[in-house]
Amino acid sequence: MEAQYQHALLSRPTADERGREHFIAAMRRFLITDAYAGNETAYRARQVPDFIRAHGRPPASYLEVKQAMAGDPYYRGFSLLNRATQELLWDTVAESIERQMPALMETARSLPAAGGSLTIDPDFELPAYARKVDIHVMPGSFHTALGADDCFAGAVYDRGVYLYAYGGLGADNAALGQGTVDVIRERFPRFVPSRILDMGCGAGMSTHPLAAAWPAAEIQAIDIAAPMLRYAHARSEAMQVPIQYSQQNAGRTNFADGSFDLVVSNLLLHEIPQSLTRQIIKECHRLLRPGGVMIHNDLVGWPTDPFQQFMAEWNAHHNNEPFERGSGTIDWHAACTAAGFGADDIFRQPVVAAYMSEQLGHVGYRGAVRR
Ligand SMILES: C[S@@+](CC[C@H](N)C(=O)[O-])C[C@H]1O[C@@H](n2cnc3c(N)ncnc32)[C@H](O)[C@@H]1O
Nearest atom within ligand 1 for CA of residue 141: 25
Question: Under DSSP, is residue 8 helix (H, G, I), strand (E, B) or coil?
Answer: coil
Mean pLDDT of 340-366: 83
Q: How far is the CA of 55 from the centre of ligand 1 (A)?
A: 44
- β pairing state of 244-247 and 288-299: unpaired
CA angle 314, 249, 354 (to 5 degrees): 40
Residue 204 has pLDDT above 80, yes or no: yes
pLDDT at 1: 83
Question: Under DSSP, is residue 220 helix (H, G, I), strand (E, B) or coil?
Answer: strand
State the average pLDDT for the chain: 95
d(Cα 55, Cα 311) in Å, to the nearest integer? 22
Best probe residue, ligand 1, of 210, 223, 246 (max atoms within 8 Å of C-beta): 223
Nearest atom within ligand 1 for CA of residue 280: 19
pLDDT at 2: 86
Burial of 337 (0-12, 13-18, 19+ CB in 10 A): middle
Residue 40 has pLDDT above 90, yes or no: yes
Best probe residue, ligand 1, of 120, 157, 224 (max atoms within 8 Å of C-beta): 224
Grade residue 354 by pLDDT with cuts at 50, 70 and 90. low
Residue-wise pLDDT for 290-300, tens only, equals 999 999 999 99
Q: How far is the CA of 138 from the centre of ligand 1 (A)?
A: 13
Q: Taking CB atoms and a 6 Å cutoff, what residues make up the pocket around ligand 1? A: 127, 130, 142, 176, 199-202, 205-206, 222-225, 228, 249-251, 266-268, 271-272, 276
Best probe residue, ligand 1, of 243, 268, 356 (max atoms within 8 Å of C-beta): 268
Best probe residue, ligand 1, of 90, 198, 271, 277 (max atoms within 8 Å of C-beta): 271
- Give nearest CA residue, ligand 1 atom 13: 200
The helix or strand, by DSSP H or E, that contains position 160, with its residue range, turns out to be: helix 152-164
Give one word for 82, left, alpha or beta, with left for phi > 0 and alpha for psi -120 to 50: alpha
How large a percentage of the chain has pLDDT more than 90? 92
Superfamily of chain region 1-371? Vaccinia Virus protein VP39 (3.40.50.150)
Q: How far is the CA of 267 from the centre of ligand 1 (A)?
A: 7
Burial 94-106 (b: 16+ CB within 10 A, else e): bebbeebbeebbe
Q: How far is the CA of 65 from the centre of ligand 1 (A)?
A: 32
Nearest atom within ligand 1 for CA of residue 272: 16
- Give nearest CA residue, ligand 1 atom 10: 268
d(Cα 10, Cα 7) in Å, to the nearest integer? 6
Residue-wise pLDDT for 137-186, tens only, equals 999 999 999 988 899 999 999 999 999 999 989 999 999 999 999 999 99
Residue 366 has pLDDT above 80, yes or no: yes
CA angle 85, 18, 177 (to 5 degrees): 70
Nearest atom within ligand 1 for CA of residue 173: 9
d(Cα 198, Cα 160) in Å, to the nearest integer? 21
Kindly list the domain boundaries of the chain, sorted by start residue: 1-371
- Give nearest CA residue, ligand 1 atom 12: 200
Mean pLDDT of 183-207: 97
- Give nearest CA residue, ligand 1 atom 14: 200
- Give nearest CA residue, ligand 1 atom 4: 202
Q: How far is the CA of 200 from the centre of ligand 1 (A)?
A: 3
pLDDT at 225: 97
